[in-house]
């Protein structure tokens, strides 16, 4: 198993042309897990999982995000994961970008782009509470300096200051901001307003599988889901029904999938356990301080 870095420190030429069309974040994307083996990123398992998901028909991968334990990976591991995913998915890879400042995040995006990412998903800063004006300035600076496009990543409860809806709507007109992933627990009035009033150039995608169908009925353009690591074969046909406008069939299928989607909520470690049991990754290992799922795995089937 090779763990060679995909790009050296002096070889950070963007892999994609700056003039290339930005990727579409619509459709069904996978918030990809990062397989480990003996404490290291398992490239062989990651390749096998990416090939499996590509064969299942998913539209793209979010690499090194929350599900991918991105904040617990070293910089080199994140570049390696992105490079490995891009080998299987080509232009359909978005990466989580991190840094203590807008300039640092833009520099991170530069290296992720060289490794194969077509865009970066960026959470609000940790540890600090921002005003709406500060949040707007922060994301504007990232987008202005990044080599590759930016996806606004809102994960309520994970950062001190979520991206306010008015700020997201305003940022949606920036030419380098290509959409927003919204990981929210409920479809409340604020979330509905975002979906219904977002400009065409700001597609909204959901991170909560329980909101996939209701949000799509209001105009959400896709979903980036952790559960798609293990249930892509069921979720891809569901999204195709939505895309085709066959809402009656989509509702029927969604109702059948609902018990499975509910069972996986908040149980991220079980994703790796299930993938391991299916032979897609060599180990269910998580990066400390997260705890392995052990034998407490899910056996919920899908009709």
pLDDT above 80 (res 296): no
pLDDT above 80 (res 48): yes
The pLDDT value recorded for residue 157 is: 83
The pLDDT value recorded for residue 20 is: 63
Residue 291's pLDDT band, with cuts at 50, 70 and 90, is confident
* Sequence-ordered list of residues with C-beta below 8 angstroms from that of 221, at least 6 positions apart, any chain: 25, 26, 27, 179, 203, 204, 205
**Higher-confidence residue: 290 or 268?**
290
Say which DSSP state 34 is in.
-
Residue 2's pLDDT band, with cuts at 50, 70 and 90, is very low
pLDDT one-digit tens code per residue, 130-159: 999 999 999 999 999 999 999 999 999 888
Contact present, 81 and 31 (Cβ < 8 Å): no
**Higher-confidence residue: 290 or 50?**
50
Residue 40's pLDDT band, with cuts at 50, 70 and 90, is very high
**Alpha carbons 35 and 40: distance in angstroms, whole number:** 8
pLDDT one-digit tens code per residue, 200-257: 999 999 999 999 999 999 999 999 999 999 999 999 999 999 999 999 999 999 999 9
The pLDDT value recorded for residue 295 is: 39
Q: Is this model's pTM higher than 0.85 or not?
A: yes
The pLDDT value recorded for residue 290 is: 84
Span 41-60, average pLDDT: 97
Token pair for 282: 């060599």
- In words, the CATH class of domain 27-277 is alpha beta
Residue 19's pLDDT band, with cuts at 50, 70 and 90, is low
Taking CA atoms, 180 is separated from 36, 137, 139, 198, 206, in Å, by 29, 17, 12, 10, 8
Cα angle, residue 61 at apex, residues 59 and 63 outer, rounded to 5°: 175
- For 256, phi then psi, to 5°, come to -70, -35
Token pair for 92: 């359909």
Average pLDDT, the chain: 90
**Alpha carbons 118 and 115: distance in angstroms, whole number:** 9
The pLDDT value recorded for residue 136 is: 98
Q: How many CA atoms lie within 13 A of 261 on its CB side?
A: 19
**Alpha carbons 153 and 96: distance in angstroms, whole number:** 9
Token pair for 249: 């069939």
Span 8-23, average pLDDT: 51
The pLDDT value recorded for residue 267 is: 72
pLDDT one-digit tens code per residue, 249-275: 999 999 999 999 999 876 778 899 999
Least Cα distance to 136 among 85, 171, 94, 97 occurs for 171
Say which DSSP state 107 is in.
H
* Sequence-ordered list of residues with C-beta below 8 angstroms from that of 248, at least 6 positions apart, any chain: none
pLDDT one-digit tens code per residue, 76-92: 999 999 999 999 999 99
Token pair for 14: 């963007």
pLDDT above 60 (res 300): no
């Amino acid at each position: 198993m090779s763990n060679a870095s995909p790009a050296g420190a002096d070889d950070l030429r963007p892999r994609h042309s700056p003039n290339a069309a930005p990727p579409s974040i619509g459709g069904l994307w996978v918030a990809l897990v990062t397989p480990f083996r003996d404490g290291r990123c398992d490239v062989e398992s990651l390749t096998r999982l990416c090939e499996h998901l590509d064969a299942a028909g998913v539209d793209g991968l979010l690499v090194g995000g929350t599900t991918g334990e991105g904040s617990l990976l070293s910089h080199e591991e994140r570049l390696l994961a992105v490079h490995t995913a891009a080998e299987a998915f080509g232009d359909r890879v978005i990466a989580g970008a991190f840094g203590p400042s807008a300039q640092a995040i833009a520099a991170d995006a530069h290296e992720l782009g060289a490794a194969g990412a077509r865009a970066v998903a960026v959470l609000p800063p940790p540890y600090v509470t921002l005003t709406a004006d500060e949040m707007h300035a922060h994301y504007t600076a990232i987008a202005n300096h990044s080599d590759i496009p930016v996806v606004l990543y809102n994960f309520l409860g994970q950062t001190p200051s979520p991206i306010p809806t008015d700020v997201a709507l305003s940022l949606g007109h920036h030419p380098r901001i290509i959409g927003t992933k919204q990981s929210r627990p409920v479809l409340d009035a604020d979330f509905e307003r975002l979906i219904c009033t977002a400009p065409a150039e700001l597609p909204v995608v959901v991170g909560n599988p329980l909101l996939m169908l209701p949000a799509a009925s209001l105009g959400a353009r896709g979903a980036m889901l952790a559960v798609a690591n293990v249930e892509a074969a069921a979720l891809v046909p569901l999204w195709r029904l939505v895309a085709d406008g066959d809402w009656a069939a989509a509702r029927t299928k969604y109702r059948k999938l609902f018990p499975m989607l509910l069972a996986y909520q908040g149980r991220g470690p079980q994703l790796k356990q299930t993938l391991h049991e299916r032979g897609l990754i060599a180990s269910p290992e998580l990066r400390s301080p997260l705890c392995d799922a052990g034998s407490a795995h899910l056996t919920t089937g899908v009709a």
